[in-house]
Structure 1
């Protein structure tokens, strides 16, 4: 069985990441009116990072050593995004009395605080991140994003270990 080459896989995964972001913005945010919380935005950044790494790998089409570097970076980014998906799932599972307070909108964070402070707040999450706004088959949005990150990490590992 002939598997697609590294370039084709990289470009397909980059397109899949672009599709995930498009669905998040155009369907969930614009059509359904769901506002992304701090951790949602952080997860989007990691999906974009994975997509950009795979796009660079596809456009560059490096030799084996370069492909392994791109695959390793993409896998690390997918693991990073997984961490924030798990963190949001943990917040969603907290009892109501343990949920942290809700913070200000993201626009305000970057207007009122330094970039490092605003990013730190984004990475911590807040009470808004504990709210389950949407589910499919009993799994909330960060659960599905985690499934996506696991798939992206699996492709990255496949590319990394591929001969």
Structure 2
């Protein structure tokens, strides 16, 4: 849960403060337009281009924001359960 919260926080940070140059790779259309299909298909499954893009929101938060909240909640609840057991 702690590692999940860290990764979600990093993704949220990338979305709030996007880098000047997208370094996550090419986007889908860039791969299809610039590479032959036999090279583009393996590249498609390696990831997308813009790691700061927000494709979905719920109540003002992105998937990364909500994942951080849930992972943090699980971490706190697990810590409380361990503390209470002692």
- TM-score interval w.r.t. the shorter chain? 0.5 to 0.7
- Count of residue pairs the alignment pairs up: 69
1:97 aligned residue (20, 28, 50): 20
Q: TM (normalized to structure 1)? A: 0.37
Unpaired runs of 5+ residues, structure 1, are: 1-77, 110-121
* Matching of residues 22-33 of structure 1 within 5 Å: none
Indicate the SS of the match to 1:128: coil
Unpaired runs of 5+ residues, structure 2, are: 27-42
Aligned-CA RMSD value: 2.3
Deviations 1:116-148 (A, max 9, x none): xxxxxx8xxx74331100111211110001110
Q: TM (normalized to structure 2)? A: 0.64
Q: Closer, same or farther in 2 for the Cα pair 1:95/1:154, shift >3 Å?
A: closer
CA contact (8 A) 2:5 2:68 kept: yes
Say which structure is richer in helix. Answer: 1
User: How far apart in 2 are the matches of 1:155 and 1:140?
Assistant: 23
User: How far apart in 1 are the matches of 2:80 and 2:4?
Assistant: 18
CA contact (8 A) 1:91 1:99 kept: no
